[in-house]
A and B are shown apart, each in its own frame.
Chain A
Amino acid sequence: MTDLELAKGCLEGRRESQQMLWKLYARKMMSICLRYCDSRDEAEDVMQDGFIKVFEKIGQWQGSGPLGGWIRTIMVNTALTHLRSRHKWKNSVDLDAAEELDAREVDAASKMNEQALLKLIEKMPTGYRTVFNLFAIEGYGHKDIAEMMGVSENTSKTQFLKAKNWLKKNLVITEKSIETH
C-alpha cells in the first residue's frame, strides 16, 4: 500500500487504514515522544494527542514528502506544545565554563547502541534536551528552534552548549560503567 492509498483510506475513515498507519508508525513515534518527555506516561499522552491530530488532519498532507515525515512533524510539534504548557523556557544566557564535548566522546556515543543512547537522552534535563532533540536529531537550525520554542536564537545555542556539557559528563560515566561490566 502506498502512502497515498493509506492516507486516502484514513481520510475516508476506514478502520483498517487507520490501523495500518498506526502499525507502521507507532513504534517510531513512540520513540520520539519518549525523547521529548520526562516519563512514559507523559509520552503516551503526547503520542495519543499527536495521533489524534494526525487522523484529524490527514487530509492536509500534501503528498509532496513522505507521509512518515509529515507524521513526525506533527508528533514533534505536539510534544513541543505539551512541553510549553508545563515548562517555561527561559531566555537564559548564563553558562558554566566547561569544556566542550570532543570528537572522542562523540565517537563513544556512536558506539553505543540505539536503546542505550535513547535512555541517555531521556535522562537529560528537559530544558536543554528539547533543544538537543530538535537540533541534533530532528536537524533544525537554531533559528527554527528559537521560533518553535519562543525563545531567542542565542538561548537555543546556549541550551545546546549545556546539552553538550551534560553529555560530556554523562557519556564518560556511561563509558566507565560499560568497562566495569
Chain B
Amino acid sequence: MKHIDDQIREVFSKKLSNAEADVSPHLWEAVQSQIAAGSGTGAVATVAKVISTKLIVAASVAVIAVASVVYFSVSEKSISQKESAVQSKMTPNPVLESNSQTIDSTNDPAKPTIQNEEPQKVQDVRIEQSNGKEVQSTSSEINSSTEFSIISEKTASSHSNTKEESRPAMDENQMIKGSAIEATNALTGVFKVLPVDIEEMRYSFQSQEAAASYEWNFGDDTLSNEDSPIHQFTEEGNYIITLTVTDESGLKKTTSHEMNVYKPGKTIIPNIFTPNGDGSNDTFDPSAKSEGVTFTRIVVQDSQGKVVFESNSQLPWDGTDPSGSPCNSGTYQYYVSGFDRNQEILENKGVVTLIR
C-alpha cells in the first residue's frame, strides 16, 4: 500500500509538477493593472485590489482584513461595491478600498506579513483608467456584466500603458492594444483572443457578449459572422482584428485590436566551434541558426564553473576569456536566453566544445 502510493507520487509528480498550460493573454494585463510599477520605493505592496463580483458572490470567505485591522463584512463589501459602481457610472468593475484585500486566513507556507501602506496611489490610477468609458452600469447589471467588464477595462488601460511605458517590444503577445472606435450603445465590442495552435497560427476569437450579429475582419481579407470564430492565419505578421457587433435595435459597436501572429521561435545552438581564424565556425554564435529569436543573454562557463563569457546581447563568443586570452580546447557550458517574435521567453543550456 505504501508502495503503490509512492509509485503514484513518482508517476504523477514527474508528469505533472512541471506541466504547463496555455495562459489567456488577457490575464497578464489583469495582473499588471493591479500591481505597482516604477515606484522605486521597494514597497511594492501597494495595490488597490479589485474584487470581482464573482468572487464576492462566492464569498462566504474567510476574509481577514490586513494589518490595518479594517474588516469589511461580506455584505458591506457588496454594498460598497455596488455604490461605487453606481456613483462612478464609468465602469461596471468597481474599485474597492485597498485595505480590504482578501488574504489567506491560515497556513500560508510563504509566511506572509502583508505590507499595506500607501493605499491611495494605485487606486487613483485605476479610476483614471476607467474614465471615458461609456458603459452604463447599475447595480442590477453588475452580476451579468462583470465577466467582460474586466476585459473591457483592460482594453482601455493597456492602450494607455503601451504609450506611457514606451515598451512596445515587450507588449503582451496577442492582446490587445485596442481602442473603442465608436461608443453608441451598451454593447462594448470586447473580445478575447486565445491561441489554439500557435505553431499553425490558429487562434480563437471570442466575443464577450451576446449581440444580434457579429462581423469579424481578421485583417487578412477574411471575414466571419460567427460569435466566436477560430481563424488560421496563413502568413506571419501583425494584424488588426476588427469586430463589429450589432444589437437588436440595429446599433453597432466596432472594436479593433492589433495582434502579432508569429510562429514560436526556435533556438538552435551549435555544439562545437573552432576559433582558429579560418573564417568557418570561428565563434560560438547562438543566433546564427536559431529562428526568430533575439538573444538577450549568453553565459559560458568552463568546466570548473568559471564564467569565461557573459553578454547581455547576442554578440557571439570568440573563444577568449574576459582578459582577452584564448581559452583552451575543451567543453564549456552555456546558458542562453532571449525572446521570440511573440515576446515569449526562450531559454537553452548545453555544452559546446571548443577546438583549436
Contacts and interface: CB of A to CB of B under 8 A. Distances in A.
Interface in A17-46: 18-20, 22-24, 26-28, 30-31, 34-35, 41, 44-45
Given A13-B44, A137-B12, A85 B62 contact: yes
Nearest to A116: B15
A85 B22 CA distance: 26
A13 B52 contact: no
Contacts of B12: 109, 117, 121, 136-137
Interface in A136-178: 136-139, 147-148, 150, 160, 164
B15 A10 contact: no
B133 interface: no
B345 to A, nearest CB: 4
Nearest to B347: A24
B109 A27 contact: no
B249 interface: no
Interface string B147-191: 000000000000000000101001000000000000000000000
30 contacts: A13-B39, A13-B40, A13-B41, A15-B165, A19-B28, A23-B345, A28-B20, A34-B21, A41-B54, A48-B34, A53-B112, A57-B114, A59-B44, A59-B45, A73-B109, A74-B110, A78-B104, A80-B107, A81-B62, A81-B103, A81-B105, A85-B61, A101-B4, A102-B4, A109-B11, A110-B11, A114-B16, A115-B19, A118-B21, A137-B13
Interface residues of A, number: 70
A12 interface: yes
Contact of B108 (A31, A59, A77, A150): A77
Contact of A30 (B1, B8, B20, B102): B20
A105 B36 CA distance: 48
Contacts of B58: 85-86
Interface of A: 1, 10-16, 18-20, 22-24, 26-28, 30-31, 34-35, 41, 44-45, 47-49, 51-53, 55-61, 70, 73-74, 77-78, 80-81, 84-86, 100-103, 106, 109-110, 112, 114-115, 117-118, 121, 135-139, 147-148, 150, 160, 164
Contacts of B13: 136-139
A148 B111 contact: no
A101 B104 CA distance: 34
Given A23-B343, A60-B113, A85 B60 contact: yes
Given A30-B22, A31-B21, A117-B15, 12 more contacts: A13-B40, A15-B170, A20-B345, A23-B343, A52-B31, A58-B44, A59-B44, A85-B61, A103-B4, A103-B7, A114-B16, A121-B16
A132 B6 CA distance: 12
B19 A100 contact: no
Nearest to B51: A49
Interface string B286-307: 0000000000010000000000
Size category of the binding interface on chain B:
35 or more
Interface string B195-213: 0000000000000000000
Given A22-B28, A27-B22, A14 B16 contact: no
A106 B10 CA distance: 10
B154 to A, nearest CB: 11
Contact of B38 (A15, A20, A28, A31): A15
A94 B51 CA distance: 38
Contact of B1 (A22, A86, A100): A100
Contacts of A73: 109-110
Contacts of B107: 77, 80, 147-148
Given A13-B38, A18-B37, A56 B44 contact: yes
Contacts of A35: 16
Interface centre among A19, A28, A86 (most CB of B within 10 A): A19
A60 B111 contact: yes
Contact of B167 (A12, A16, A56, A114): A16
Contacts of B114: 56-57
A101 B8 contact: yes
B59 A85 contact: yes
